[in-house]
Chain A
Amino acid sequence: MTETSKTILVTGGAGFIGSHLCDAFSAEGHRVLVIDNLSSGRRENLSADAELHVLDIGDEAAADLVRTAGIDVLVHHAAQMDVRRSTEDPVFDARTNILGTLNLVKAAVEGRVKQVIFASSGGAIYGEQDYFPADEAHPQRPVSPYGVSKLAGERYLYYFHVEHGLDVTCLRYANVYGERQNPHGEAGVVAIFLKRLLAGETCTINGDGLQTRDYIHVSDVARANVAALGQPGFRVYNVGTGIETNVVELYRGLTAALGVEREAEHAPAKPGEQRRSNVDAGALRGELGLPEPIDLAAGFRRTADWFRGAMVEA
């Protein structure tokens, strides 16, 4: 695609997913600005051509930047992303995810930003599913403050779309894993297992290990964001594979990717943990023409190779 170059502001751009987006946007010839408070993001995740502003999304300075920097697209990934932390401190979660989002989106409207791409969450928004995989029309019953705050973000964006004509694309991610991942996000288990396996430590599987998630590689998420650029109207797309993978299978896949053999130990189940989750990304592929996601074995190999390298460096 040879569209004109856009100025894109990626919040959370120094984080795991955000930094991959910056790379993908830069590769497409866009100018990339980053807002990140570096609470979990890391400067070294960013390539040299991304312009980093170390700011909190709740700050007035962040809003100023959105208003005045000539932004075409706000790609909003900065968030409190730890589901467990959201249950322990729902006020903090809401302050970051709801008020932080409002602060930026209000500024985006004032600064005549054309489009907001919003990192939402499939698993956390749908809650315990009525059917599998969940499409975008599945009832939304979040069962964590994090899920509530992500859904609230979508609803505020809908309001700004209707009231101010802002183009909005909400991408409801399944469980994203891949290079540069940290242990705190929704697919944090991948990072945790890889780190422990590389350190020669035993991994712990909570409960029977049959709880399922839909694991999508970060490169597919980056492709979805690139495809979302310039989409008009208010749109919501699931981003996932549609395949349920339980923790036992995940563990097997990761040990195979690393070429290690080690048994995991089982610990009691976490109370309140969702049992099954997967999303139908048919609309994304159909409407935005995205290719099939890369398969898990290939994604695990890439991720395992990166963790192996990162462990050597550390």
Chain B
Amino acid sequence: MPFDNLRGAPVLVTGGAGFIGSHLVDALLELDCAVRVLDDFSTGRESNLAHCRHRIELVRGDLRHARTVALACEERRFVFHQGALGSVPRSMEDPATTVAVNVGGTANVFAGARDAGVERVVYASSSSVYGDSERLPKVEGEEGRPLSPYALSKKMNEDLAEMFVSCFGMELIGLRYFNVYGPRQRPDGPYAAVIPRFFAAAVEGRAPVIYGDGEQSRDFTFVADAVRANLLAAVTAEIRDHVAVNVASGRQTSINELARELFVVSGSPVPANHQAERPGDVRHSLADLARAHAALGYSPETDLTAGLAQTLPHYQAVPTGGAA
């Protein structure tokens, strides 16, 4: 079996009440892992774990609090570090908090994992580390300069990881997520991602907001693929150096194409409401997946049409709004 080394293992998922984290928790429970979740519920939601609450250990904690994090790492074999403050625009407004949570928090996780003797840490990085590099597709090793505090915080995570590997001999794998989407991604609040925003608009019969001309492109990754990348990263054969790999679908889709695709899936007309471009956004994004395949055996399994079809029922079932 492919995930034998992970089966039944005690694991920690930081940010486990969040969108990607909660799906990862589900997958780890499928593997009979003893799952502990650390989340401060600032952006994560208790309802994301309602269905499995009795099967997991749920610890409230802020990543900035070193001792809470260290305690959460105790007696764990694997740590999946998903907790972070997402969103480029949020980081433009409040860079200090983004850096404190994402960089300070990650240092706390790495240090806690080191002190607890954790076998391997898989941590969430981001396609935003490619920054102002205009080369397509994005290949690991060809990063540009970060365009936002969020991107910088993720770049610093990777630098930290490299440092912890060289100083302490830890096993650390970073996953550079490219625009992950799927059920449970929050459509509400000012920092919602494009797909849940579009779905919320479609379900409510509103015109979705497109920033700029809509010809900017992204590589949209279905959450199940991101989750599988985490599991693969945990079990892949011994690693000596720090590794950070792209996790994506390997397909480039413009925001205008996305809007059309959503129209097909949701059956609602989506005339766009174009607004000014947002600072800090990159123009195009597309991942090269050669290293992910070589290092993890990862290849995407769900294309955009299938992924959107699986995501739509979530937004039809869950009214938008709630605690923003």
Contacts and interface: CB of A to CB of B under 8 A. Distances in A.
Contact of A133 (B57, B60, B65, B68): B57
| Most chain A CB neighbours (cut-off 10 Å) among B40, B57, B60, B62 | B60
A296 interface: yes
B47 A292 contact: yes
A244 B47 contact: no
B54 interface: yes
B61 interface: yes
A210 B40 contact: no
B316 to A, nearest CB: 20
Given A244-B59, A246-B60, A210 B53 contact: no
Contacts of B61: 246, 249
A159 interface: no
Interface residues on A, range: 20 to 34
Given A210-B67, A295-B46, A296-B60, A242 B41 contact: no
A243 B36 CA distance: 11
A248 interface: yes
Interface residues of B, number: 19
Nearest to A131: B57
Nearest to B34: A131
Given A133-B54, A282-B54, A296-B41, A243 B67 contact: no
Given A210-B71, A249-B40, A292-B47, A244 B60 contact: yes
A245 interface: yes
A60 interface: no
A154 interface: no
B68 A246 contact: yes
A243 B38 CA distance: 10
A167 interface: no
Interface of B: 40-41, 45-47, 50, 53-54, 57-62, 65, 67-68, 71, 323
B54 A280 contact: yes
A132 B57 contact: yes
A128 interface: no
A248 B62 CA distance: 10
Interface in A115-158: 132-133, 135
Nearest to A298: B323
A175 interface: no
Nearest to A278: B58
Interface in A275-302: 278, 280, 282, 292-293, 295-298
B65 A282 contact: no
A295 B323 contact: yes
A249 to B, nearest CB: 5
B58 A249 contact: no
